[in-house]
Amino acid sequence: MALFRSLVVLLLLAAFSMTTGAGQAQTPEASEAPARAETGGAQTLEDILARQRGEQIDDSFRRTEIGDPGAAATMNEMLGTLGGASDSDVWRALRYNQADVQVSSRVAAAEVLMQDGGMRWLEFRSGPLKTYGGYLLLGMLAVLVVFFALRGRIRIDGEKTGRRMLRFSAIERFAHWMLAGSFILLAITGLVQLFGRAFIIPLIGREAFAPVALAGKWVHNNFAWPFMLALLMVIVFWLVHNLPNRHDLKWLAKGGGLFSKGTHPPAKKFNAGQKLIFWAVVVLGLSISASGLALLFPFQMPLFAVTFEKLNALGLPQLFGYGALPEVLAPHEEMQLAQAWHAIVAFVFMAIIMAHIYLGSVGMEGAFDAMGSGEVEEQWAKEHHSLWFEEEKEKQATASKKPAAQPAE
Amino acid sequence: MKAMYLAFAATIVLAVLANIALDRAGFSTEEVTSGPAVRLD
């Protein structure tokens, strides 16, 4: 009898634990339904918290709750003035891009009243972009200061001849300085726009910063045009001279002689280091111009959806372990991506140009003359561009050997 | 250095001209972002 009682107890315990377990297994699914019932079908606190944690939530229960003007009560009935859609219905329709928005603005993007990507862009712009961009520029400055402290100014090793030879013609120098001048203005005004709130407003106040920011915007928008023109001129003038040749690897293997005195690997008109700068200027310059144009003409030149489509087709994002990039972007997302890309390219561009400015001025004796007067010391040319020097000398010799034109008899 | 000064001057002139040209061609922010129902002047 005792055994029977024990068996019954065991069976009851087992049955109880099974029902409890089944109840526990159903808990997560079951919990949402009563919670929504309590809120009248609206989202729960857990829904809101999950969204704030950045989790994907199933919003199908509210996405379609946008009212029904067709079933609206007549004007003389209760709530008839709402037109079949409550305020919440209208906001949900806007939130899920299902509202029939009509605006007087000609910009198509004006019809999008809410856009999710804006927060991600704002956080990127005021966080990693500023931090890493700022460190990149400061890092490059530090590298140049250390390089100068260790290596000093790279002097002309041999004895100066006192003779000078033309390195860059007037039109080449004109294009270079138009590119350089506009680039520096664009860089300064771009940095003011990005860092103004963090660093300049605390110094001079909001009221003084407002006209500075406005002037900076004008300069940034309009000096983009001479920059793009000069970029095209420079590409036309120097592309041929910057095609790679067999001397480049040797030049690079010896570090261009930058790190040791008396080492001068042979080079033509442009050495491998200058070629790297040139191609960086071409690639980054064209890229920053494209994103800049997209920003100058808002919503008119969407670039990223098209680019992502091509990248997806090539399988590049997947190659690096990412999923396919979005091929449909809201007009504002296009602008946000254009701004982010513009700034990323600008930081890399500025860091490279800092090194270029250093070597073209204080870093190397005689280098500035190439772009200043256009004429360089022959010994400088012999040391840094020996093959170009020989070519030029040969040209001069051939020209002097040619008999003077005889007048017709 | 003449080429450098000339380039800087040309840069400024081009920037001013670009602004005037785009403004006259109807690319001002006001014109681009408003509809025909908006009186700008």
Give mean pLDDT, residues A91-112: 81
Q: What is the pLDDT of residues A224-269, one digit of tens each?
A: 999 999 999 999 999 999 999 888 898 898 888 788 777 888 889 9
Q: CA A312, CA A326: separation in Å to the nearest integer?
A: 9
The beta-carbon neighbor of A177 closest among B4, B32, B37 is: B4
pLDDT surpasses 50 at A281: yes
For residue A284, is it within any domain?
yes
Q: What is the DSSP string of A96-127?
A: TT-S----S-S-GGGG----THHHHHHHHIII
Q: For residue A277, name the pLDDT band (cuts at 50, 70, 90).
A: very high
Is it the case that residue A319 has pLDDT exceeding 60? yes
Do the Cβ atoms of B33 and A372 come within 8 Å?
no
- Among candidates A178, A222, A298 on the partner chain, residue whose Cβ is nearest the Cβ of B19: A222
> Measured between alpha carbons, how far is A277 from A284 in angstroms, rounded to an integer?
10
Over residues A5-47, the pLDDT tens digits come to 544 444 444 443 443 344 333 334 445 556 777 777 788 888 8
Judging contacts by C-beta atoms under 8 Å, the chain B residues touching residue A110 are 33
The answer to whether A179 and A227 are in contact (CB under 8 A) is yes
Q: How many CB pairs under 8 A join A and B?
A: 68
A121-149 confidence digits (pLDDT tens): 999 999 999 999 999 999 999 999 999 99
Q: What is the pLDDT of residues A168-185, one digit of tens each?
A: 999 999 999 999 999 999
Domain extent at residue A50: 46-100
Would you kindly state where each structural domain of chain B is located, as residue ranges? 2-28
pLDDT for res A199: 94
Q: Are residues A261 and A321 in the same domain?
A: yes
Residue A309 included in any domain: yes
Smallest Cα distance from B41 to chain A, Å: 17
Domain C-terminal end among A59, A74, A100: A100
Q: Give yes or no for residue A323 having a pLDDT over 90.
A: no
> Which residue in the block uniquely carries the two structure tokens 């339904």?
A33
Which member of A107, A174, A218 has the closest CB to residue B7?
Answer: A174
Q: Is A196 helix (H, G, I), strand (E, B) or coil?
A: helix
In the predicted model, what is the mean pLDDT of residues A262-283?
91
**What is residue A134's predicted lDDT score, i.e. its pLDDT?**
96
State mean pLDDT over A40-63.
84
State whether A275 and A350 are in the same domain: yes
Same domain, A94 and A132: no
Sign of CA dihedral A255, A257, A258, A261: positive
> Per the structure, how many domains does chain A have?
2
A215 inside domain: no
pLDDT of residue A7: 44
Backbone angles phi, psi at A227, to 5 degrees: -60, -50
One domain, residues A77 and A150 = no
Element (DSSP H or E) covering residue A205:
none
The whole-angstrom separation of Cα A248 and Cα A298 is 42
Is the residue at A29 inside a domain? no
CA atoms of A190 and A133, how far apart (whole Å): 12
Please work out, in degrees rounded to the nearest 5, the angle formed at the alpha carbon of residue A59 by the alpha carbons of A56 and A64.
Answer: 155
Find residue A166's DSSP bridge partners.
A375
Per-residue CA distances from A53 to A48, A66, A118 (Å): 9, 25, 17
B30 touches chain A (CB under 8 A): no
Given pLDDT bands bounded at 50, 70 and 90, which one contains residue A68?
confident
| Contact predicate A373/B1, CB 8 Å | yes
Same domain, A164 and A51: no
For residue A266, what pLDDT is reported?
83
**B9: which chain A residues are within 8 Å (Cβ-Cβ)?**
none
Which of A104, A110, A185 lies at the smallest CB-CB distance from B38? Answer: A104
- CB of B2 within 8 Å of any CB in chain A? yes
Work out the minimum CA distance from A283 to partner chain B, whole angstroms.
22
The percentage of residues in chain A with a pLDDT greater than 70, rounded to a whole number, is 89
In the predicted structure, residue A96 carries a pLDDT above the cut 60: yes
Q: Which residues of A56-92 are buried (b: 16+ CB within 10 A; e: fewer)?
A: eeeeeebeebbbeeeebeeeeeeeeeeeebeeebeeb
Are residues A51 and A147 part of one domain? no
- Can you list the alpha helix ranges (DSSP code H) found in A39-129? 45-52, 60-63, 87-95, 117-124
Closest Cβ opposite residue B15 in set A174, A175, A226? A226
Cβ(A350)–Cβ(A124) under 8 Å? no
pLDDT tens digits, one per residue of A387-396: 999 988 888 8
Q: Which two tokens stand for residue A90?
A: 């209208």
**A361-396 per-position pLDDT tens digit:** 999 998 999 999 999 999 999 999 989 999 888 888
Residue B16, pLDDT > 80, answer: yes
- Span B12-23, mean pLDDT? 96
A79 and A130 part of one domain: no
For residue A287, pLDDT beyond 90: yes
Let me know whether A256 and A354 are in one domain.
yes
Q: Do B7 and A176 touch (CB under 8 A)?
A: yes
Contact status, residue A287 vs residue A340, Cβ threshold 8 Å: no
Q: Tell me what pLDDT residue A406 has.
A: 60
Alpha carbon distance A295, A335 (integer Å)? 7
For residue A142, the domain's CATH number is 1.20.950
pLDDT of residue A13: 42
| pLDDT above 70 for B31 | yes
Same-domain pairing of A59 and A149: no
Q: Which of B33, B34, B38 to mutate to test the interface with A (most CBs of A within 10 A)?
A: B33
Please tell me the distance in Å from A170's CA to the nearest CA on chain B. 6
pLDDT of residue A403: 66
d(CA A123, CA B37): 37
B15 contact residues in A (CB cutoff 8 A): 182, 219, 222-223, 225-226
Tell me which of A405 and A343 has the higher pLDDT.
A343
- The answer to whether the CB atoms of B34 and A221 lie below 8 A apart is no
Whether residue A149 sits in one domain with residue A61: no
Reduce the DSSP state of residue A339 to 3 states and report it.
helix
Same domain assignment for residues A72 and A140: no
- Give A368→chain B minimum CA distance, Å: 11
- Return phi, psi of residue A165, to 5°: -130, 145
Q: CA–CA separation, A256 vs B16, rounded Å?
A: 41
8 A C-beta contact, residue A36 and residue A42? yes
Report yes or no: A338 and A303 within 8 Å, Cβ to Cβ: yes
Mean pLDDT of chain A: 86
